[in-house]
Structure formats: C-alpha cells, structure tokens
Chain A
Amino acid sequence: MRVDRGVVQNFDWWALGLVVVLLALGIGNLISATYSDASAWLSPTVRRQLVSLGIGTSVLLVAVVIDYRHLERLAPIVYLASLLLLASTLVLAPVIRGNQSWLVFGPIRLQPAELAKLGLVAALARYFHRHPPSEIRRLIDLWRPGLIVAAPVGLIILQRDMGVALLTLLIAATFLPFLRIPNRAWLAVAGTAVAILAVVWTFGLEPYQQSRILDVVDPGRDPLASGYQANQSRIAIGSGGLLGKGFLEGSQTQLRFLPTQHTDFIFSVLAEEWGLAGAATVLLLYLTLVIWGLMVARGSKDRFGALLAVGVVGILFWPAAINVAMVVGLAPVIGVPLPFFSYGGSALLSTLAAMGLLFNVSMRRYMF
C-alpha cells in the first residue's frame, strides 16, 4: 500500500489533536468514575479500556491507510459479515442484563451491533453512490435501502436492545437530508414515524421502558424507582455548578449514587466534577468534530467519500446526542454509550474506525 507524501501533507493534524484530547479526557474521566482507592489508581475497568484504546488505535491506522475507495467494493462483504455476526448472537450470546448483545470469546466480549453500524454506513454510502438522488424521486424508490437498514435493525430488536436499534435507525436516517425527496414525502415519512412509534409504544415497550419515557415529561414521577437514575444524574450535573467539584471530588460519583456511571451516565461524572465549564468544553469539542466531519463530506472529491463522511458524522453525532439528552433529562433513559467517554471496547473500536474513515476521506480530498 502506497501512501503519497501529498496525502500525508493533507492530513488534518488539528482534527487528530481533537480526537486525542477527547480520548484523553475520556480516560481521565473514566479513572474518576471507577476510582475506589488510591492503591488501585487505574481500576481494572480503566486498564481494559486502555487495552481497547491500543487496539482501536491500530484499527484507526488501518482505516486511514487503506484508500477508502476500496471500501466501495468491499462494502457488501463488510455489511453481510456484520449481519452474520449479529445473527450469531441470537444463537450464541448469553443473556446479559436482559439483552443478548455480546459475543463472548474467552476474555474478549464483542458487541456486533457496533460493527453493524459501520457495515450499514458503508452499504448505504455505496447504494446512494450508485443510485444518485436523481434516481430517487418517490418514497417507494427507497425500498431497497430500506431493506438494507431493516435487516440489522431487525436483528438488534431481536436481541432486545431497543436503544441500539433506535440508534442504528437514526444513523441510517442521517442520509435522508441528502436525498432529493419532495416535501410531501417528508410529511409521509413523519407520519409513518409517528405511526411506528405508537405501535412500538403499545406493543414493543416493556412497562419499565414506558416509565422511563414518562419520567422525562415529569421528572418527579417516581424518583426512587424508574426515575432514580435520571434524577440522580440531574442532581450530579446540577451540583457541579459552574466550575465543578474537582477531579475525584464529585460526591454523587465517588459515593456511587449514579448508576452505570462509567457507561451510560459517564457525562454526569464529567459535569459534576468539571462543572458547566468542563461539560460545555467537551460538547464544543464534539460539535467541532461533527462539523469538521460535515466539512470533510462537503470537500470530498467523490460522492462515495462524501456519503461515507455523512455516515460517519451520523455514527459520531447520534450516540452523543441521545446520550447527552438522556443524561441531562431531555430524553428517556436509553442505554446508548457516549463516544470517547463511556467504558466499552466495541464502541471505542467502532468510533475509532469511523474516525479513521473520516481522516481517510479528508486526506484524499485533493488526490484527483
């Protein structure tokens, strides 16, 4: 594989710096979230996350080095492989906390849904690349990409992981604004969405899931049971104030009032210990990264690269948005990890692979 000097010159070093800063903040925050005493400064959780980070860095390098245009051809294979892995969880995976999302190979636990996001984005980018907007004029024209989305989402629903299913659906929806769908059709899309939501609410959600959604509307509804997490999270964030309580000083965090604080509620830890200043900084870093991703899409010299970048923006934006909205009490409690911050190897790997693709597209924008 040959990497031109020109390519290296065009590498967005400042964006890489952004990623490194986010990763560093993520690890630091995870140290605090899992801190128990000074004798074990790096908790086993942090150690495992560092190992994942090492692997993820190599994955990122690979994703950067291989010209993304090869992915155009490989996309169906990646997509089908991810579907296969997803399907295998239904047979092989143990039930962990109510859902069947992990494949366990000895010490390694893999979440195929994370890989499926990449496969889906690649497959959709390829499809819309080969079928430019001019071909898609009516909603009915979307039935094939619709199937491409439905397969992984359906499998994830079968794993009873509703949060990730929703996330995957939203990532796929990132492509919608870039299609030439008439305004009337948008209304139909919205109407369909509402209808699907109503059906899902009635038949698809467990009572605890319905409770979580009602808790967003009325936070004081049931502060000790279903609303407990969200309530404690709001207390943690709010008590951080303007400047925060300081590293390792967050009482909500250190006394474990926050449930799943190293995964889903990691942002509360940040907001409690670093206050509005820290939380806003991290949000702005995210925003910068996502906007940069959109600029990469805009600057791409080919349609596939642009669509791939759009998909990666979806992979970065949606989990962050859902997670933060949930943690600050604007959305129901949905188990979606915050990229770069939540503990979890599979998510970190898929995030870094997605970043690699973005750098890949970005550095090859002047190659033609």
Chain B
Amino acid sequence: MSRFGESIGSTVDDFFEQRVWVVAAGITAVFALFLLRLFQLQVVEGEQHKQSSLRNSIRTVRLEAPRGEMLDREGRVLATTRPAFQLEVIPSEVRRPERTFALLGDLIDTDASGLRATVEGQRGRARFQPLALSDDLSWPSLARVEAHRYALPGIFTAALPRRHYPSGALAAHLLGTLGEISADQLRSRRYASYRAGEQVGQSGVESLLESHLRGRAGGRNVVVDVAGREVEVLDRVEPQPGESVLLTLDLDLQQEAEAAFVSDDPEAELQSGAIVALDPRTGDVLALASAPSFDPNAFPGGMDGPTWRALTNDPAKPLQNRALAGQYPPGSTHKAFVAAAGLQVGVTAPGNRIFCPGHFKLGRRTYRCWKRGGHGEVNLHEALMKSCDVYFYRTGLALGIDRAAGFLRGFGLGAPTGIVVGDESPGLVPTEAWKQRRFNERWVLGETVSAAIGQGFNLVTPIQLAVAYAALANGGNVMRPRVVLELHNRDGSVTQQPPEVVGQVPIEPEHLARVRRALWAVVNDPQGTGRRARVPGLDVAGKTGTAQVVRLEHVEDLEEHEIPRKYRDHAWFAAFAPAEDPEIVVVVLVEHGGGGGANAAPLAQRVLARWFRKRNGEPEPPPPGAPPTSSPPALEAAGAAPGGERDAG
C-alpha cells in the first residue's frame, strides 16, 4: 500500500466534487435534449414520418393493359400488342462501371461511353432510382443482356405492352395511329379517365373505338428496397386487356390494293392515290388503301423528331388518307349518274340517238369530245361504253344543273358518307344557288356542260364514289360504309354491327340496271374504254374517268409522257362485279395517273382478279421471290385495249 502512499489522504477535494456535479448536470441536460428530440420526432412528427417511410418502401406499380386486337373479317390479326422491353439501370447498384458499360455496349450495339455519359450525366436524380437506357430493346439484344445478367449488376429489364401492327403499313390509314394524349384531350370529358403520358388512338379505328380497344390498367402495391427491387407484393389488380374488334377489311384484298400502287420497276415514280373496295350489299369496306402509306409502328412509344418531320414534310403527304379526304373532279365516272338521272327524267330514252361530230357548240364556245373525229351516232349504251362527251353535254343541258344535283345527292354525293374513321371531305355537288352563294355570280350554261362530264365544280372523294357506285350496283340503296363487323366484348359476347342504309337513289331500279349493262360493255365490248379491267370468267362492269388538273388546251397537244407529272390528269376507274348481281365495288384513283382506262383500270383489275380467285377458292400463284404483297402476274390485262390513245372520258 505504501507504494501509493502519496495518494493517501489526498482524496478528491471539494472543488473536484463540485465539478463532478456540474459535469453530471451537463451530461444529464444533453440526454434530456436527446429525449426531447426523440419525443418530437417519434410522437409529435411521428405520423408524418410514418407516411414517409411507407412512401419510401411501398410503390404502386402500374400494370399497363394490352390494347384490344384488330382482326380482319376472317379473324387475321391487323393490330395486336407485343412486349416492348425496357432497359433500366440503377446507378447506385452498378459495380465497376467501366466494365459494366463496356459489356452492355457490346451486347446492345451501343457506344459504351455514351451509355456511361447518359448515366453519369444525370443531375438532381437519386442514384438508386432506375433510369431508362432503352425503351424498346430488340429481341437479340434482350437475349444477350439476359444471358449476361450475372455480370451486369444494376442493369434490369422490364416488359411493357406496346401496340404492334404485324403487317406494318398495311391499312395504316384505316387502322389509325396511337399517340400520347394531348393537353386538349386531357381536358375533355371523353378522356376523363386518362392520365398524362398515356397512349390513345389519334386517328382511324384506333380513335373511333378507343373506349372499346383500351383496356383497364391494373396495378400492384409492392414493397421495394432502397434499390427499388421488389421485396414483397402486397396486392395486385390484374390489368384487363382491351376488347378486340373484327373489321370488315379483307387482308388479302387490302394487300392487293396496296401492292397495286407499288411498281415492279424500282426506278418508276412513286404512285399516289387511293383504292376503295366495298361490298355493295352491306357497305362493308373490304379494302381501303391510300398511297403512299406509312408505318404506324413508329407512333406508339413516341416518335423521334426527324422521323416525324420527315413524315409531315413529305411532299407526297403519306399521312393523308386520300380515300376519305382527297377531293377530285369525278371525270367521266360521273356519266353513269347523269345517264341514270337522264333515264329517270326521260331525256336519255334508249331509243334517243345523238350525233357526235367530235365537238359541241354552245353560244360562242365549242366543247370538244375527247375523240376529235367524233363517235358518230350514239345512243345511251354506246355513249357510256365509248364515254362520248357530246352525248352527255346534251344530256346535262336537258337535265339542268339543279335537277342533276338532286339526283347526285340521291347517290350520296356532296356529303360525307359517314364512315367516321377519319377526317372525311364532303365533296361538292354544285347548284345555281351554290354558285351565287359561293362566288356571288350567276350560273352559266357552259358550266352545266362541263359538269355533265364531271369536269366542272363537282368534287368527289374515292369513298363517296365507291358508295355511289355501290348504290348503282345494288339497285339504289345508299349504304353507310361499314368498317366494324363485330365488337368482341370482354364477357365473350359479340355485338354485331348491322349494315346501314342511309338513303335511296330516286331512280327506278330498271334504269339502274340499264346503266349497269352499259358499264359491262365498257369493260367487255371490244369498243369499250375499260377493257383493261377484264377478269376472265368474271363479268366486270365499270367506268373510266380522267379528271383534268389543268385546262385541256394547255396540254392537249402533248403526248402523255411529255406533260409534267403535276399537270397530268387524275386517273379514275369505278368498277363492280359480277355485273348482274354485284358483290364488290372497286374504285381506283391514281393521282396524276393520266387516262383512267389505261392507268386506273389495271389496278382495279388486280383487286377484282384477286377477289375472284379467292371467291373461287383458287390458290394464289406464289410470288416470284418477292415480298408477299407483290403483284400476281397480270392476267393478259394489258394489250387488248387501245393503248396509246388518251381517253378524255
């Protein structure tokens, strides 16, 4: 003990003891402060922090619903849903970024340094939040990434449903497009249940049947860890897929119609125009093609700027649906209506014969027939068959413009057909009152003359012309074009869409039958102007049309190939078959195609031939090493008709 003797007695003094109490008090004060702080955090602010901790760990993950399918009339898929694979990275989870991004770059064929820059260039983002590197990974890339997952910590893939049109541009105008919901749409009642950023139908059937095709998104509440990995699923509401729809479209005819615009010669100029095929008995739209077309697969998921600008600035206007929105003078296809109206009124009785010297004088003006030598003496049948202009000048004058207009309206012209799958132009049926209203000018008789051959103020759209020819073909019923055949509902039931007769042509059926016989002759008589539309074994009837773009005198002395394309006439052909009891109407418009008989009729022939082979169950000839939409060999179509001659009718 004595070793520590110096300590004995020098016990802790009063000062030390006093300071012990001071320090004890100080320490107690610090702990009291901590307890107060804990009370504040856990009791006073406890509820708020509880919410934060729930927000931290519980996420509601939206499960997108696949959109309903669109099928053609035979149940073949036109639009469906495919998984689009997203590639995501959680930056905080990435180990050895140099290697990870180098490997990832190799796997998805992307520049590794670019990937890395994307990830590391994110400011103001938490590093544990997922960042999308790609929103539509290709299958091979996905497979490679999945195979290397073990070497790619922090890299994840996720599948989202995305609209897919397996046939690409096929029927793109009719099927329509998807696009992100616009601010205006979000404000409207129709889209009350939509969220910003959602994809909605913006045109065509996609827009028309939006509420039917759209599914109901599901969701699930999951517990996630700090890396966003799902640890536990709390509950799950399955998404309900959208309902499917059976369209009236026939995939084969649609393919044929679109292929008709594609030349076998890759050097040839791109043709633009439209083809509409209807079933005249029901108004079913069997084919509705507008050329050039576009690939609607580029729309869902957002289109990049250059693609969008290329589409909208393309002078060929691929986004425009020419079948519905394009308005053109009807040209000589108009003569069928004038002929029928004339029969009804009695000015074109079958016995009436008119002499065509090749021109017609009214006052000081001379109106030419397309055939300068004249057709000689013609009756109604011959006049239609040969498309004699002089005969119809006289008929038009005898009818008068206002009386003619009444009949034309009766065929459904001059007003939208009500197809409702896009912006439809109304066309134009002029009257004296219209001209007064529109131009504040009196109608002059010469305009009646022009109107009689479809070259005046009259404008039609291809779909209107198809509906009007369908009425001619079916004995007078103006049908509303039907696009939707059946709605397939979620409960398994099917809602049929009945055909709709929206008007009656005020002309006796026997007169229409007479016109039909004349139109048969157009195609089948050796002197007919539409011989190129013949299909062996099928009674095709039809009418050629050539719509002038500029006045005849500017170009009449030029050969067709010498005229600049934009001044060339539009080529029309309106056909139906079988002539006696028509089951199909085909209307072809080729913009700046030239004469209808030479340039539009062969296209109609292709569609009709395809339809005929299909009806007879004949196999399709295998396309010679070409894509499946390439043309079948033309069936002796060309050659027989008087080729070089430009028919003005």
Contacts and interface: CB of A to CB of B under 8 A. Distances in A.
Interface of A: 69, 133, 174, 177-178, 180, 224-225, 228, 232, 234-242, 251-252, 255-257, 271, 275-276, 279-280, 283-284, 286-287, 290-291, 294-295, 297-304, 306, 313, 317, 321, 324-325, 328-330, 367-368
Main secondary structure of the interface of B (DSSP, over half): helix
A235 B4 CA distance: 54
Contacts of A224: 124-126
B38 A328 contact: yes
30 contacts: A69-B3, A177-B19, A178-B19, A234-B49, A237-B49, A238-B45, A238-B46, A238-B53, A241-B46, A257-B53, A257-B226, A271-B41, A271-B42, A276-B43, A280-B35, A286-B31, A290-B27, A291-B27, A294-B20, A294-B23, A294-B27, A295-B20, A298-B20, A301-B11, A317-B27, A328-B37, A330-B34, A368-B1, A368-B7, A368-B8
B231 A255 contact: yes
A298 B43 CA distance: 37
A178 to B, nearest CB: 5
Given A180-B15, A301-B7, A235 B42 contact: no
A298 B15 CA distance: 11
Main secondary structure of the interface of A (DSSP, over half): helix
A174 B26 CA distance: 12
Contacts of B126: 224-225, 228
Contacts of B27: 287, 290-291, 294, 317
B20 A238 contact: no
B33 to A, nearest CB: 7
Contacts of A298: 12, 16-17, 20
Contacts of B24: 291, 294
Contacts of A328: 34, 37-38, 41
B52 interface: yes
A317 B26 CA distance: 11
Most B CB atoms within 10 A — which of A178, A180, A321, A367? A178
Contacts of B8: 301-302, 368
B418 to A, nearest CB: 56
Contact of B223 (A241, A251, A313): A251
B224 interface: yes
A174 B30 CA distance: 14
Contact of B4 (A69, A228, A321, A330): A69
A286 B1 CA distance: 34
Most A CB atoms within 10 A — which of B24, B125, B223, B231? B24
B49 A306 contact: no
B191 interface: no
A303 B12 contact: yes
Given A255-B225, A298-B12, A330-B37, A235 B7 contact: no
A291 B49 contact: no
A313 B35 CA distance: 20
A297 B12 contact: yes
Given A279-B38, A330-B37, A251 B20 contact: no
Sorted nearest first, the 10 A-B pairs with minimum C-beta distance are: A238-B49, A302-B7, A239-B53, A255-B225, A224-B126, A238-B41, A276-B42, A241-B46, A239-B50, A239-B49
B308 to A, nearest CB: 34
Interface string B117-141: 0000000111000000000000000
Nearest to B9: A368
Contacts of B433: none
Given A239-B52, A241-B43, A300 B12 contact: yes
Contacts of B49: 234-235, 237-239
Given A276-B43, A283-B34, 14 more contacts: A133-B15, A228-B126, A235-B56, A237-B42, A239-B50, A239-B52, A241-B46, A271-B41, A271-B42, A280-B35, A294-B20, A302-B7, A330-B34, A368-B4
A238 B48 CA distance: 8
Contacts of A251: 53-54, 56-57, 223
Contact of A287 (B31, B45, B57, B231): B31
Nearest to A243: B42
A242 B31 contact: no
A291 B22 CA distance: 11
